[in-house]
Amino acid sequence: MAKTTPNHTQAVSGWAALDSSGKITPYIFNRRENGVNDVTIKILYCGICHTDLHYAKNDWGITMYPVVPGHEITGIVVEVGSNVSNFKTGDKVGVGCMSASCLQCESCKNSEENYCDKVQFTYNGVFWDGSITYGGYSKMLVADYRFVVAVPDNLPMDRAAPLLCAGVTVFCPMKDNNLIGSPRQNIGVIGLGGLGHLAIKFAKAFGHHVTVISTSLSKEKEAKTKLGADDFIVSSDAQQMKSRHRTLDFILDTVSANHSLGPYLELLKIKGTFVIVGAPDKPMDLPSFPLIFGKRTVKGSMIGSIKETQEMIDICGKYNIMCDIEIITPDQINEAYERIKKNDIKYRFVIDIAGQSSKL
């Protein structure tokens, strides 16, 4: 049994993986009472992240069963604690990957709590009271207000849900590398999936020239006509890669499959920047010569702070940036998992937890 406390008195219906088979089944569990720093949220939608599959099957060897996945959560506030002044009943809100941090370290004090050594995640984490955290595949969530963001009124709650993970994951590297409000630059996006399609939307909203780099020629039409990309490179085509040599200022790598970085680094201009947000399960091949002879930088990035997440979703409201999704019901989660394994989704599954419509 997952560890709870005497304060966990609220029975909640959800969906969990009970063992390493990864099969998601209905599951009843208890959440804590709403505390002075908490907001209770009626969950409307929850996106499915590939991370959910890894935790469900214990691919990383750290799953605490039963696990209730889900960290792309949108819903409506139904109760607020006495210390909460920035949310009220009826507000549209979202919860992403984090549920707690130490609040005292340098990272937390600098609004970079996502890099806190003691950060705890929305599911499969350990909350301040010692209880195991359960995620958004459930009807209701109690969250500390410091880890909740407001969702702009003009964003539909279903298409906003994946922004809480996928959206902020691609937004932060662009912010960190001064691509918001900067002169037009040439941006490359490796991979056209849940992360990649949002990266295109952000980069175009910020006024940049966007080149999609993919192994699949079949994705070119979609990238250009639907998502607004300016150029498309088939990475397996040596001539195409050579013709774009030193043409890009910045590359965002969203691919989680194993691949060498060398050929892509050659696409960068001198002093260009390459940021990794995909997470291959094996060490990446990083040849030294493209770095040395191009004075290039390779960096990594992980989600964002709550401050950055709020900034990101506000920008999404301003520019009408939303995730392209396919709505499913909870009884279709296992089928969705199988389709994700086959890359059979454009571009994110979202679970209709409450049986709502996209009007909310």
The predicted structure's pLDDT at residue 161:
98
* Residue 162, token pair as written in the block: 């994946």
Report the CATH number at residue 70. 3.90.180.10
* Residues 28 and 152 placed together within one structural domain of the fold: yes
Q: Is residue 265 in a domain?
A: yes
pLDDT (tens digit per residue) in 222-253: 999 999 999 999 999 999 999 999 999 999 99
Q: Quick check: 229 and 212 in contact, CB under 8 A?
A: yes
* Residues 292 and 173 placed together within one structural domain of the fold: yes
Q: Is residue 268 in a domain?
A: yes
**pLDDT-based confidence at 5, cuts 50/70/90?**
confident
Q: Is the pLDDT of residue 133 over 60?
A: yes
Q: What is the DSSP string of 236-268?
A: T-HHHHHHTTT-EEEEEE---S--BSHHHHTTE
The CA-based dihedral angle spanning residues 121, 127, 131, 137, taken in that order and rounded to the nearest 10 degrees: -40
* Residues 114 and 187 placed together within one structural domain of the fold: no
| Structural domain range at position 264 | 167-300
Q: Is residue 308 in a domain?
A: no
Q: What is the DSSP string of 206-217?
A: TT-EEEEEES-G
* Residue 20, token pair as written in the block: 């390493």
* Residues 286 and 333 placed together within one structural domain of the fold: no
The predicted structure's pLDDT at residue 355:
85
* Residues 95 and 208 placed together within one structural domain of the fold: no
Q: Is residue 311 in a domain?
A: no
Report the CATH number at residue 218. 3.40.50.720
Q: Residue 158's CB: how many other CB atoms inside 10 A?
A: 24
| Alpha carbon separation from 254 to 84, 87, 191, 276, 287 (Å, rounded) | 36, 33, 6, 7, 19
Determine the average pLDDT of the residues in 198-217: 97
Tell me what the pLDDT averaged over the chain comes to.
Answer: 95
pLDDT (tens digit per residue) in 258-305: 899 999 999 999 999 999 999 887 888 999 999 999 999 999 999 999
How many structural domains is the chain composed of?
A: 2
The predicted structure's pLDDT at residue 359:
44
Using the 8-state DSSP alphabet, how is residue 294 labeled?
T
The predicted model scores a pTM of: 0.94
Determine the average pLDDT of the residues in 72-89: 97
Q: Is residue 70 in a domain?
A: yes
Determine the average pLDDT of the residues in 30-43: 97
The predicted structure's pLDDT at residue 110:
96
The CA-based dihedral angle spanning residues 159, 177, 52, 162, taken in that order and rounded to the nearest 10 degrees: -10
* Residues 210 and 127 placed together within one structural domain of the fold: no
Residue 30 exposed, middle or buried by CB count within 10 Å (0-12, 13-18, 19+) = middle
DSSP E strands in the chain: the ranges are: 10-17, 24-31, 38-47, 73-80, 92-95, 98-100, 120-121, 140-144, 149-150, 186-190, 209-214, 231-234, 248-253, 268-276, 297-300, 325-328, 348-352
CA–centroid distance for 322 within its chain: 13
- What's the CA gap between 285 and 70, in Å, rounded? 31
Q: Is residue 61 in a domain?
A: yes
Q: What percentage of the chain has pLDDT greater than the value 70?
A: 98
Question: Which residues touch 175 (CB under 8 Å, ≥6 apart)?
Answer: 308, 311
* Residues 275 and 343 placed together within one structural domain of the fold: no
pLDDT (tens digit per residue) in 138-173: 999 999 999 999 999 999 999 999 999 999 999 999
pLDDT (tens digit per residue) in 316-346: 999 999 999 999 999 999 999 999 999 899 9
- What's the CA gap between 242 and 232, in Å, rounded? 13
Peptide bond into 347 cis (omega under 30): yes
The predicted structure's pLDDT at residue 15:
98
* Residues 286 and 340 placed together within one structural domain of the fold: no
Pair type for strands 92-95 and 149-150: antiparallel
* Residues 239 and 157 placed together within one structural domain of the fold: no
* Residues 159 and 174 placed together within one structural domain of the fold: no
Question: Which residues touch 183 (CB under 8 Å, ≥6 apart)?
Answer: none
Q: Residue 153's CB: how many other CB atoms inside 10 A?
A: 8
Q: Is residue 2 in a domain?
A: no
Q: What percentage of the chain has pLDDT greater than the value 90?
A: 92
* Residues 154 and 38 placed together within one structural domain of the fold: yes
* Residues 199 and 234 placed together within one structural domain of the fold: yes
The predicted structure's pLDDT at residue 356:
65
pLDDT (tens digit per residue) in 70-80: 999 999 999 99
* Residue 244, token pair as written in the block: 């774009």
Q: Is residue 69 in a domain?
A: yes
Question: Which residues touch 25 (CB under 8 Å, ≥6 apart)?
Answer: 15, 16, 17, 18
